[in-house]
Amino acid sequence: MQKSSRFVFSALCFGFAFLYIPILVLIAFSFNQSAITSVWGGFSLRWYTALFNNEQIIEAALLSLKIAATSATFATILGTMAGLALTQIGRYRGRLIFTGLIAAPLVMPEVITGLSLLLMFVSLQELIGWPLSRGAGTITIAHITFSMAYVAVIVQSRLSSMDQSLQEAAMDLGGRPTQVAFDITLPLIAPSMLSGWLLAFTLSLDDLVIASFTSGAGASTLPMVIFSKIKLGVTPDINALATLIIGTVSIGIMIASWVMFRQSKRN
């Protein structure tokens, strides 16, 4: 008994060490005075100052945030509509196929999604002259396309676990269909829409592959800039940037799980 629990404990420690030591090292070195990554030269915020003076990175970060916020918002609207259509509109022929189709992008390799979107943009340009150039706009559209699927799946799972008669009850009490949507359906799926939005936002911030395919010469997102910089060698200001991203993502995850927790407690 003792022995096995000690084994489990050390396995646990090892697993977590494997996951988190690289991240902790990275965070520690972002506060390193020395410019050499492998030598600890004392505590300093020097790389954070350097980071905030690096216009290229700041610009890329702002662009990434803008794309993430826009694409997450549209993905949430479209994904919610898709989720509603899949669960609410009675039983229609081919509903199962649609459910499968909406989930397919979740498992599609990013390279393929990126490539197919690029091909679409190129042929659209030839056919109707739009989009004139590839950049922030095309990246946003691409991100909406794939993160919408995530939102749809989250909203759909919430809707199908919800008591269908809630909406009928509201209608029975005199609510018109639009009133029922705003009084009952939306408040009840709002938490899953919020977690869908946060997920879409994170996915967009994180994405390198699809953005690289669908971006043009002008626009570079943060992951694209980091990736190109790393090819020239790692500078410690990247550590500072990574630390900030980790901080942001952790806060996002904490909010999302708090929302989910409250929702599950309520049911």
Partner 1 sequence: MNNENTIKANQSAKPYVAETPWLDPEAVPFIQIKGLSKQFDDFSAVDNVDLNIYKGELFTILGGSGCGKSTLLRMLAGFETPNAGQIIIDGIDMANIPAYDRPINMMFQSYAVFPHMTVEQNISYGLKKDKLAKAEIATRVKDMLELVQLSELAKRKPNQLSGGQRQRVALARALIKQPKVLLLDEPLAALDKKLREQTQFELINLQYELGITFVVVTHDQEEAMTLSTRVAVMDAGKFIQIDTPTQVYESPHNRFVANFFGTINFFNATVLSTDPEAQTLTAQLEKTGTQLEAKAEGRFSASDEVTIAVRPEKISVSQERPEGDHLTITKGTVEDLAYYGNRSVYRVRSQSGRIIQVSAQNNQRSEQLVLEWDDEVYLSWDSSCNVVLSE
In the stretch 167-206, what mask flags binding to partner 1 with x, by CB under 8 A?
Answer: -xxxxxxxxx--x---xx--xx------------------
For the chain, the residue count is: 267
| CB nearer to partner 1: pick between 180 and 200 | 180
Q: How many helices (H) and strands (E) does the chain have?
A: 12, 0
3-state secondary structure of 181: helix
Least distance to partner 1, CB of residue 200, Å? 24
Give the footprint of partner 1 on residues 76-135 (CB under 8 A).
Answer: none
> How far apart (Å, rounded) are the C-alpha atoms in residues 135 and 144?
14
User: Could you say whether residue 163 binds partner 1 (CB under 8 A)?
Assistant: yes
| Cβ–Cβ under 8 Å, residues 79 and 150 | yes
Among positions 166, 251, 253, 254, the unique one binding partner 1 when judged by CB under 8 A: 166
Least distance to partner 1, CB of residue 32, Å? 50
> How far apart (Å, rounded) are the C-alpha atoms in residues 219 and 135?
5
| CB nearer to partner 1: pick between 20 and 168 | 168
Least distance to partner 1, CB of residue 198, Å? 20
> How far apart (Å, rounded) are the C-alpha atoms in residues 243 and 11?
27
3-state secondary structure of 152: helix
Among positions 56, 165, 250, 257, the unique one binding partner 1 when judged by CB under 8 A: 165
| Cβ–Cβ under 8 Å, residues 206 and 71 | no
| CB nearer to partner 1: pick between 87 and 243 | 87
| Cβ–Cβ under 8 Å, residues 133 and 126 | no
- Region of 125-133, 166-174, 211-219, 236-244 interacting with partner 1 (CB under 8 A): 166-174
Contact footprint for partner 1 (CB under 8 A): 163, 165-166, 168-176, 179, 183-184, 187-188, 266-267
